[in-house]
Structure 1
Amino acid sequence: MQGFLNLNKPLQMTSHDCVAKLRRLLRIKKIGHAGTLDPAAVGVLPVAIGKATRLLQFLRDDKAYRATIRLGVQTTTDDLEGEIISQIAVNNLSLETIQDILNQSFIGKIQQIPPNYSAIQIGGKRLYDLARKGEEINVPAREVNIYKIEILDWRPADYPEIDISISCGPGTYIRSIARDLGSALKVGGTLAHLTRTESSGFEITESVTFEKIEESLNQGNFQLISPAKVLSHLAAITLAETPARRWCQGQKIVEFEGENNNFPVQVYNENSTLLGIGKIEVRENGPVLIPEVVLEAN
């Protein structure tokens, strides 16, 4: 069994929990995932099965979310799972003010400090472990890329909530956006709900639940997504029989047709079988195709 699964992660399960459950359902140990989701978040969790786990590093890195931010509230975890640090009624905010701050400070490449309760390692230790021990944490800011933020709904109240959609690059914490938006508005803010709608080319409209997976397994029509479909954003090279066999044996291929400026590239044989991922190096005597990940013997 080899391929990908677009899992709709349920509430209150860790990404690790999801992998463990899939191992039991599919009766296979080699399963991995891309892009960890917090237990309080739901939505798209890309999962690789079998040899496809070796391809996780080559997936697209773009992501999209639908988030609800509650203003007037600050918590220890930057979401509603944590203890409340401060809570003040908010009565004088306008949607126009929020939109202006989002446009000015939260679009493009920005500096972001991850939440204290996160899986990032500082000095070899997870931040959430340090936070739970009450240790003082100095988390360095890092650059993330926010492509687009759109306001979907605004609900004025003592503790108003705003729904937004966010398209972003890897490493972005939506909890930090909620926290920092509240700080910029001088009222505090925390994440009330989060759904990942896209990740690595997988979309929530095509995701499957555990219930659907179990139903498909019982009916005998369970299918995985092919690696070729998931890697369609990469250039592809097709090798003839002899060079394909040599490439699968770990040899570099000098004579091949294709662009010489794409890395990484999918490598296929003449039967349209995905053999793996190659790396192209441009040398004095021409481009050389080097095996990076070999999936199939040929």
Structure 2
Amino acid sequence: MVSLLVNGGDVTATRTTPQFLRVPNIEIYNAWIVRFRWLVLLLSKPLSILPRFIQRLVPFPPVPADEIDGFNGLAQMERIPRPRVLKSHLPYSLFPPQALRKKCKIVYIARNPKDVVVSYRHNMKIMPALFNYSGPWDTFYRTFVSGKLCYGDWFDHVTGWWKHKDDSNILFLKYEDFIKDQRETVRKIARFLDVQTTDDAEDKILEHCSFQSMKINPAVNSKMLEGGQFIRKGVIGDWENYFTVAQNREFEKLYAERMEGTDLDFEW
């Protein structure tokens, strides 16, 4: 969405250039894959034809050739002309201080934690080159609640950025608000970025960023994803298909304790 806004709604790049190259993830770096690119390519070819359960037994799963460069986010960033659009999952405490000092504009998206844990597990299952998780729901839920997943504790992450929601260079948004009113979200981000929009440009952005469009966009649904699509449902409340009554009761109690003293709330 941000890419389209800064490019006047032109969807050419977002349909032809993989997202990880167009909007690199600044903290993604796999030294082994980057340094031994030739070896990864050599080994990936025979591995890719093996059954999935055998692939899990090797040190790393097959990585498509056009995906390898995505494992060096900083190198990708240097190749992009300004103004650059970057992404990150880092908490405020670990965010590059130079970016904060220079007042880089940051759009932070928060989503209700119940849907987050469901989506998180799904992503970890379909990204063999990054996670390759195959355990049960209950184990993943327990790990999420303990805050011991990649990028740390959800409560610390969200409240850490929420404390800076009034900073001039930070726009704090809720995923649920976007789902309910997508056009207003586009306009809010445009105002924050000082970008002028037209009704026609907004229409193009909304159509291109719809789930129906994103699902069939190969630049978004990467070939390295296995066992499911990255663009899956995007709905509010899918957690109800996973949480047990006991888990929901437990999580509601934890949420009340951890969010006490903040005025941040979510739609479940």
Judging by fraction of residues, say which structure has more helix. 2
TM-score by length of 1: 0.20
* Higher normalized contact order (CA 8 Å, seq sep 6+, divided by chain length): 2
- Quick check: which has more Rg, 1 or 2? 1
TM-score by length of 2: 0.22
Judging by fraction of residues, say which structure has more strand. 1
